[in-house]
Amino acid sequence: MSPKSKRVEILSIGTELLLGNILNTNAQWIAEQLSQLGLNHFRQSTVGDNCDRIIKAIQEISKRSNLLITTGGLGPTPDDLTTEAIAKSFNVSLFERPHLWDEIKQKLSNSKLQENSSSLRKQCLFPKNAQIINNPKGTAPGMIWEPIRGFTILTFPGVPSEMKSMWEETAFEFIKNKFSDGYSFFSNTLRFSGIGESSVAEKINDLLNLENPTVAPYANLGEVKLRITARAKNDLEAKNIIKPVKAKLKKKFSKFIFGEDYDTLPSVLIKELARRNQTIVFAESCTGGLLSSSITSISGSSQVFKGSIISYSNELKNELLNISEDKLKKYGAVSEEVCEAMAINVKEKLGADWAIATSGIAGPNGGSEEKPVGLVYISISGPNKHITNNKKLFNSTRNRIEIQTLSVNVCLNSLRLILLSNSK
């Protein structure tokens, strides 16, 4: 059976996952690892700590897949049922591995052993012919077991650090040797701002039907991503497969693509301003510091970011940014005139090359017919008295955080476009 026809599934076990108490990062991480091995997994499932339901899930998976990877349910507590349920799924008994108990005793203090001896010991029980996966960071080992011909199960604890170390020490090589043909998946993601997912998809219908590489669009708030994925024997070969598609996309969307892979609008702007040896400051009202936070979340931001003034009230706009009371009264805080003055004055006051100011109504209250919820003014003041004003009316059905986040994205992307048009 070729790797393309081998079916891999991930089964996450734990009621806390179903209740949403814990984010299932294990499944995401394992999926990425499988891609590196050139294996597509066809399904992810989550089941609570119920033996009957775990058994049913495993039996169903065994009929349609070749490799099952489970996480969770390997600990010492009564609701840790994974190994027991797997054994019952195939009507086999569990046997204690004495050497595992010796290892657990070495890892724990005497007080913990005396207190939890019986419950800890259940972690030493496995089907007779199962291969043990050592757990270097915890007490719960995993296993590699082929209960029926053509179907293999690998089990891991739910603690991410334990699961990852076990994968890297044992599972990666096992899966590579048994299930991979030496091919792997390599992805390159292009990141867009200022254009919607549907608009991107409409312009690349021909690319969405490619088989190798594949092109897949997906969107976050205020951003679109195109993931280009190639299947190849090595990264260099994959990059060569991706290269012509990537070049075509960059030509078609040159204005909208701001970066690749792990780039963000803040990181791209910091890099460009640092290249120019220029600095930036902010005057924030409706974004309440979110714009500043987006920049300072990036290591190295101190090279370009000097600081900000968060002037939420009219009093502080007047006192800290020298916006006259007459202007505030005549135009209102949410206006192009006030926002422009905020940008000009904060740039002068804090002594920077660039300044961005925001003023708007993030809601859900405070809007009017003249100035509805979602109305945001953005002004950018640059060298040589360059001023750019941008009026945005975001959908009022968006919540407050979404409107603030979208405002930050527009601020950063607007400056990116200005820098792009004046590249040097």
Rounded Cα gap, residues 58 and 152, in angstroms: 11
- pLDDT in the model for residue 280: 98
* C-alpha radius of gyration, the chain, whole number: 28
- pLDDT in the model for residue 110: 61
Query: Is residue 4 pLDDT above 60, yes or no?
Result: no
pLDDT tens track for 155-171: 999 999 999 999 999 99
- pLDDT in the model for residue 34: 92
Rounded Cα gap, residues 420 and 423, in angstroms: 5
pLDDT tens track for 286-300: 999 999 999 999 999
173: left (phi over 0), alpha (psi -120 to 50) or beta: alpha
Q: The tokens of 96 are what?
A: 């204690």
Give residue 331's pLDDT band: very low, low, confident or very high (50, 70, 90): very high
What lies within 8 Å, CB to CB, of 386 at 6+ separation is 380, 418
- pLDDT in the model for residue 51: 97
Segment 361-385 mean pLDDT? 95
pLDDT tens track for 196-239: 999 999 999 999 999 999 999 999 999 999 999 999 999 999 99
- pLDDT in the model for residue 113: 61
Segment 85-113 mean pLDDT? 88
Tell if the pTM clears 0.85, that is, is over it.
no
The structural domains of the chain, ordered by start, are 3-179 (3.40.980.10), 184-260 (3.30.70.2860), 265-421 (3.90.950.20)
Query: Is residue 107 pLDDT above 90, yes or no?
Result: no
303: left (phi over 0), alpha (psi -120 to 50) or beta: alpha
Q: What is the average pLDDT value for the chain, to the nearest integer?
A: 94
Give residue 112's pLDDT band: very low, low, confident or very high (50, 70, 90): low
Lowest mean pLDDT: which of 24-28, 126-130, 137-141, 178-182?
178-182
Rounded Cα gap, residues 375 and 314, in angstroms: 18
- pLDDT in the model for residue 352: 98
pLDDT tens track for 128-159: 999 999 999 999 999 999 999 999 999 999 99
What lies within 8 Å, CB to CB, of 223 at 6+ separation is 191, 192, 193, 265, 409
- pLDDT in the model for residue 119: 81
Segment 58-81 mean pLDDT? 96
